[in-house]
Amino acid sequence: MLMTPHAYLDSIRQRGITVWFRGEKLANPVDHPVTFPAANCVAETYRMALDPGTQGLMTAPSHLTGERINVSNILWRSRDDLLRRIEWERAVARRTARGALRSPGLDALNALAIITKRIDRERGTDYRTRLDHFLRETHEHDWALSGAMTDPRGDRTKSPSQQIDPDLYLRVVERRRDGVVLRGAKAHQTSAPHAHWHLVLPMGCRSGEEDWAIAAAVPSNAPGLYHIYSRQPGDDRRVEGSEIDVGLAAFGGCESLLVFDDVFVPPERIFLNGETTATRDLVHYFGSFHRHCYGGCKVGIADVLIGAAASIADMHGVLERPIIQDKLTEMVHLAETMYACAVAASARGEPVEDVWIPNLALANVTKLNVTRFPFEIARLAADLAGGAMTTLPSERDLRHPELGKVVRKFMSTRSGIDPEDRMRILRLLEYLTHGMGSTYFLHESLHGAGAPEAMRIMLRKEIDLAPHIAAARALAGIER
Ligand SMILES: Cc1cc2nc3c(=O)[nH]c(=O)nc-3n(C[C@H](O)[C@H](O)[C@H](O)COP(=O)(O)OP(=O)(O)OC[C@H]3O[C@@H](n4cnc5c(N)ncnc54)[C@H](O)[C@@H]3O)c2cc1C
């Protein structure tokens, strides 16, 4: 059953989620000037699933209940599901200048579906049955899930059991007859303060690190669970209440440090418990699925930035100049290259167990481009914006009874352009290139789903150079 955006926001308000924000506990994670745009952004995925204009894109039949559900919670059953994913990720991002909000949860579900089926076959466990029960409930309730894999990780050269503090990777500290107790944290958790459940996944573990090899579904109101909400550049402006100065008032994003202070999990919510050999594949699938989606969501943000850059050029009277058109064309080329890789990864998708997955090599190529191209797109946007993007007076100056006239006079450009509109576009450009939104367009593009080296490692694993070498040797006339 699809939830309305209002019902979704109310469900998060009433869920009793513990969120700390700048040293204070919030009454709820929705009704604060900084948190509301992020919550509203998740709500947009609910809104788009009900909007007749986007419902076809944003919903699909549940293979468990037969009802139409949000695409954020489906198991991919066909190549078309993978192709469509890139379209809806781009559509959500174009509408919100954010994206991938519920995507870590979606990727966690699909990665777990494969891994649990595999382990059950090998070891006679019943993890997939448990996951299917959870999935059915998720479909019935239209829950928002977070996908929580990244541990704080301490010394990056050491594995979980070698850290100075064993809690630097989330772990089982107690095994009881009625379940397990988890201690530690997950870092950088996208939209986690606005999720109903967290899908917790382990990072790579070795033999002897069974306590760290834990995957589970944890309700966001579980006793012992709390968030420390991230700061973002310029988030204070939301508290000031200025609509123009924030750059984007309606939507935003958020991450948190999700702390597990001895959180109990019953067996029916556990999907991996000590099977260290499965953790590496889980990391590869989850990481690669998430990298694939960036070819949709980051392109949607690029669309907005290109639109803003074209608008400011138009306001400055230079839009039709060839040099400006060249720069805009370069931005479009970079954006569509990211998109093309993701579409290709979908088109070359294949079934693994009962889930369709994107081509892993191309999914990683997609994300490797995403670690670079948004920075160049942002550089070109800043070039087209001019210095005013970084030196603009405030909205208060604009509204001031005396200064306002001066601001309007000197912010004027050509005939027919309202100086206030120019200020709005410049603030949006600032938001996306070095304000709150740059967290997503630039820095999540770089690190989300893994730092660039993670993609290169996957490419080395996925791409066999032997046929390339054979082709070269044959053409060079080398026989063996
Ligand atoms: C905005 C945002 C949202 C995110 N959302 C989620 C989410 O929803 N769920 C989730 O699970 N995670 C999430 N992440 C986490 C993301 O997956 C990690 O940031 C990413 O995997 C990189 O890990 P790290 O931040 O610890 O950086 P590091 O791994 O410390 O990387 C920093 C640098 O060190 C290098 N490095 C690391 N280890 C080694 C080594 N052993 N040898 C040599 N070099 C090394 C890296 O290549 C990189 O250049 C999010 C991150 C961001 C920024």
- What is the rounded CA–CA span in Å between residue 29 and residue 401? 37
Does 148 contact ligand 1 (Cβ within 6 A)? yes
Both tokens of 48, joined, read: 């788009």
Does 305 contact ligand 1 (Cβ within 6 A)? no
Q: How far is the CA of 156 from the centre of ligand 1 (A)?
A: 10
- What is the rounded CA–CA span in Å between residue 463 and residue 343? 19
pLDDT of residue 1: 86
The 10s digit of each residue's pLDDT in 66-80 is 999 999 999 999 999
Fold of domain 281-470: Butyryl-CoA Dehydrogenase, subunit A; domain 3 (1.20.140)
Q: In 3D, which of 330, 450, 310 has the Cα closest to residue 384?
A: 310
DSSP 3-state assignment of 223? coil
Q: How far is the CA of 448 from the centre of ligand 1 (A)?
A: 7
Residue with tokens 């500290």: 173
Nearest CA to ligand 1 atom 2: 444
Query: What is this structure's pTM?
Result: 0.97
Question: Judging by DSSP bridges, how do beta strands 59-61 and 225-229 pair with one another?
Answer: unpaired
Does 149 contact ligand 1 (Cβ within 6 A)? yes
Question: Do the Cβ atoms of 33 and 21 come closer than 8 Å?
Answer: no
Nearest CA to ligand 1 atom 31: 451
Q: In 3D, which of 466, 460, 462, 389 has the Cα closest to residue 431?
A: 389
Q: How far is CA 293 from the centre of its chain?
A: 8
pLDDT of residue 202: 98
Does 439 contact ligand 1 (Cβ within 6 A)? yes
Nearest CA to ligand 1 atom 28: 451
The 10s digit of each residue's pLDDT in 141-180 is 999 999 999 999 999 999 999 999 999 999 999 999 999 9
Does 453 contact ligand 1 (Cβ within 6 A)? yes
Does 447 contact ligand 1 (Cβ within 6 A)? yes
Residues 6+ away with beta carbon under 8 Å from 285: 110, 111, 114, 115, 357
Strand partners, 180: 175, 265
Q: How far is the CA of 284 from the centre of ligand 1 (A)?
A: 14
Alpha helices, DSSP H only, in 316-348? 322-347
CA distances from 406 to 120, 316, 388, 414 (A): 71, 19, 15, 16
**Tens of pLDDT along the chain (480 residues)?**
899 999 999 999 999 999 999 999 999 999 999 999 999 999 999 999 999 999 999 999 999 999 999 999 999 999 999 999 999 999 999 999 998 789 999 999 999 999 999 999 999 999 999 999 999 999 999 999 999 999 999 999 999 999 999 999 999 999 999 999 999 999 999 999 999 999 999 999 999 999 999 999 999 999 999 999 999 999 999 999 899 999 999 999 999 999 999 999 999 999 999 999 999 999 999 999 999 999 999 999 999 999 999 999 999 999 999 999 999 999 999 999 999 999 999 999 999 999 999 999 999 999 999 999 999 999 999 999 999 999 999 999 999 999 999 999 999 999 999 999 999 999 999 999 999 999 999 999 999 999 999 999 999 999 999 999 999 999 999 976
16 by Cβ neighbours in 10 Å (0-12 / 13-18 / 19+) ranks as: exposed
Does 443 contact ligand 1 (Cβ within 6 A)? yes
Q: How far is the CA of 340 from the centre of ligand 1 (A)?
A: 25
DSSP 3-state assignment of 262? strand
Q: How far is the CA of 152 from the centre of ligand 1 (A)?
A: 9
pLDDT of residue 479: 78
